[in-house]
A and B are shown apart, each in its own frame.
Chain A
Amino acid sequence: MIHLFSLGVFTEDKIGLLNRTTGIFTRRNISIESLTVSETELSGVFRFNIKIKTTHEQIQKVAGQIEKLIEVLRVQVFEEDETIYQEIALYKVPTSELIKSDNIERLVRLHSARILYVGPEFMVIEKTGHKEETQQLFADLEPFGILEFVRSGRIFVSKSTENLISYLSKVESHPTQLQPIV
């Protein structure tokens, strides 16, 4: 059965590692639903947040193959209910249209969105939420003419108590304890 999984992949800073990681999905004909990459609070350690739909069996195999990559420090696999997750969306809308309408305040309030920027040509509204929520605001803003829209991949924190970064930080402060951790 197909489930939605979130993978947290902690890596060293290495050119080409993202290529190797996505290659593991490509090779198995698995589509990546969303992907975000950023540096963690620990300098030099990066985190890929990967959202994919697949089976329990396949996710374990894929996670094993990713963890096997040399610069990958750890792979965490979570099901939907094991994470708290969020996405961010930005909406660029013509200022004139919104000003004409008296709906803008209601929409922003209703969607718990916020206005990031107002200029003579356009304004930018920001909303964080799950995909259905950001999509709903898109639908509500559409009549005003959306000039540009972007939605980020999913970022998440797990409900697990394991904290890889604090472990790594300890290692960083005591280099003599350097031990392979995967």
Chain B
Amino acid sequence: MTSLKIAFAPEAAERKHKERITGSEAIIHSLLEEGVDTIFGYPGGAIMPFYDKLYLFQDKLMHILSRHEQGAVHAAQGYARASKKVGVCVATSGPGATNLITGIADAMIDSTPLVCITGQVASPLLGTDAFQETDVVGISAPVTKWNYQITKASEIPEVLAKAFYIARSGRPGPVLIDITKDAQFGEFEFEYRKCISLRSYKPVPELDKTQVEKAADLINKAKKPYVLVGQGVLLSGAQAELDAFLKKTGIPAASTLLGLSALPADHPNYVGYLGMHGNYGPNIKTNECDVLIAVGMRFDDRVTGDVKRYAKQAQVIHIDIDKAEINKIIKADCPIIADAKEALQALTAKCEAKTHQDWMNEFKACDEIEFDKVIAKEVYPSSGKVTMAEVIRHISELTSGEAIVVTDVGQHQMVANRYYKYKKPYSNITSGGLGTMGFALPASMGAALGAPERPVIAVIGDGGFQMTIQELGTIFQFQIPVKILVLNNEFLGMVRQWQQLFFEKRYSATEMTNPDFVTIAKGYQIDANRVEHREELKTSLENWLNHPGPSFLEVMVEQEENVFPMVPTGASVSEVRLE
């Protein structure tokens, strides 16, 4: 790489003289230069030179030893999402590197900034099937925003500077840097300058003012405009701009799964959650609005249902920083390729102050239907076993909606995100696009370290919990104060629900015979309890939440509960089922 293709920040005046150090030490200095203070990882042969140097920097760089590399990468994801910084994880070559792949794929589809560093066999051994050699650059190519293999120590600062720049800028994503063992041992004169530009990469497109005017015109003329809020709002930090836009225009706004918490649940314009298990109104009104304003979202199939019958009546304004998202799923009548913050600011200035009270009331009418048919009985049940929804309602009340809620994948995830009343942004951390079971427990560790001032709750099903249960060891060792909740229905609940609804109740491989989770948690010396009856629920939840340090609570819930509303696969959003 020459300086013509990449630009760096000018050297800071107070910078120390160049010094001759090893590649391993250069990795550490590069991380420190990027402001990294916490990393997640797992050592092994090919990354040992790095770990050896790390020993000398323990006061500056906290290393959280996970119990599996998948735990490290999910923790880095949780850390990134809670702290708004780049998450960093480290693994060795071969199995260490391949174990990162699920988390990297998850970060790619959910736009989470990560820098993953993997050790690699020494460069002369590349391609020889050496011990723990695997082509991680090849394997990770489809699931990384960028990756690179370093074979010379002197490449380290420049490549890492580029890695951090690419991971965090534009639409964020995971970057993997594979570093051969000889590059870690090699010595060179270290000098670090942050990357500020690449000629082949324009992270933030220039806002096209004519498109903004066209969009404002559509919005000003609209009778039933409707805003869909995606994670792009959070990634752009555009919460205040979104609020100002909604307050001025009076437009109702719904959120995607990953957009949750960008608007507080009690925001006057907020009408609920979109998608397969989203709220009733937000789904059916998609096919009744006349202008659809999508902000930083990508029309996932879980949001759109059948695309051929999705918002056909509406003019679509699609704001996204990623040009490739425009027209990918839903044709945009007015695309605005820009950062959400900048676009919303410009749009607010051009839009007329309005109210859409009648239109807003239509959503409220839908809410009442949903409340009667679905919510009342699951949130306030009087008999039968405990429901997931009532557990979440209690937690939401007990934490005043102030916690970070990290969810796994399945029924509990949908229920938690339907009923937790988020008050603060960056509070919903979940595996959205990839739907990675086992995400929540390790991600909650990262979230707790990334936002130490905030309470962090992990809500997990009995299936997903057992996919990364070993991370209880990490939580114990580092006393990470996460509150772990397992909603146990002794089933892979979401799959079972589909089997009930679409496969004539053939419960193939969904019933779980579980171990005693409380005993397991206690084995890790984590405070642990189980709730089986409604009468004990609230007190147990209070004790669990108030316990200093990590704590575990298992709630035995209704076994064959279904999550509604539901837009069945292939159905239109207007065919959302309430029962």
Contact = CB atoms under 8 A, between A and B. Distances in A.
A182 interface: yes
Interface stretch (A47-55, A64-72, A96-104, A152-160): A64-72
A27 interface: yes
Given A12-B200, A61-B324, A65-B324, A178 B7 contact: yes
Given A20-B141, A44-B2, A171-B4, A68 B323 contact: yes
A16 B3 contact: no
Given A171-B199, A178-B199, A182-B202, A68 B5 contact: no
A180 B142 contact: no
B328 A68 contact: no
Contact of B202 (A16, A65, A180): A180
Interface stretch (B144-152, B376-384, B405-413): B144-152
A73 to B, nearest CB: 5
A64 B325 CA distance: 8
Interface in A67-109: 67-68, 70-73
A175 to B, nearest CB: 5
B2 A70 contact: no
Interface string A108-127: 00000000000000000000
Given A73-B200, A181-B202, A182-B200, A16 B4 contact: no
A31 interface: no
B322 A68 contact: yes
Interface in A140-182: 171-172, 175, 178-182
B313 interface: no
B323 A64 contact: yes
Contacts of B145: 70
Interface residues of A, number: 27
A135 interface: no
Given A60-B327, A67-B324, A178 B147 contact: no
Contacts of A2: none
A23 B5 contact: no
Given A178-B4, A181-B199, A19 B323 contact: no
A72 B324 CA distance: 14
Contacts of A180: 197-203
Interface in A1-45: 11-12, 15-16, 19-20, 23, 27, 44
Interface in B1-24: 2-5, 7
A64 B324 contact: yes
Contacts of A172: 4
A70 B203 CA distance: 10
Contacts of B323: 64, 67-68
Nearest to A68: B324
A16 B4 CA distance: 21
A72 B197 CA distance: 14
Contacts of B5: 12, 44
Contacts of B198: 70, 180
Interface string B175-203: 00000000000000000000001111111
Which of the listed residues A27, A60, A70 has the most CB atoms from chain B within 10 Å of its own CB?
Answer: A70
A72 B138 contact: no
Interface string B73-108: 000000000000000000000000000000000000
Nearest to A73: B200
A16 B199 contact: no
Nearest to A172: B4
Contact of A182 (B166, B201, B327): B201
Contacts of A181: 199-200, 202
Interface string B195-226: 00111111100000000000000000000000
A163 B476 CA distance: 61
Interface string B324-347: 101110000000000000000000
B467 interface: no
Contacts of A61: 324, 327-328
Nearest to B329: A61
A70 B201 contact: yes
B149 A15 contact: yes
B459 to A, nearest CB: 32
Contacts of B2: 44
Contacts of A65: 324
A47 to B, nearest CB: 14
B398 interface: no
A99 B199 CA distance: 56
B122 interface: no
Given A12-B200, A68-B324, A71-B200, 15 more contacts: A12-B5, A16-B149, A27-B142, A64-B326, A67-B323, A68-B322, A70-B146, A70-B200, A73-B199, A175-B4, A178-B7, A179-B197, A179-B199, A180-B198, A181-B199
7 contacts: A15-B149, A16-B141, A27-B142, A64-B324, A68-B322, A70-B198, A179-B197
Interface of B: 2-5, 7, 137-138, 141-142, 145-147, 149, 166, 197-203, 322-324, 326-328
Interface of A: 11-12, 15-16, 19-20, 23, 27, 44, 60-61, 64-65, 67-68, 70-73, 171-172, 175, 178-182
Listed from nearest, the 4 A-B pairs whose CB atoms lie closest are A180-B202, A64-B324, A70-B146, A68-B324
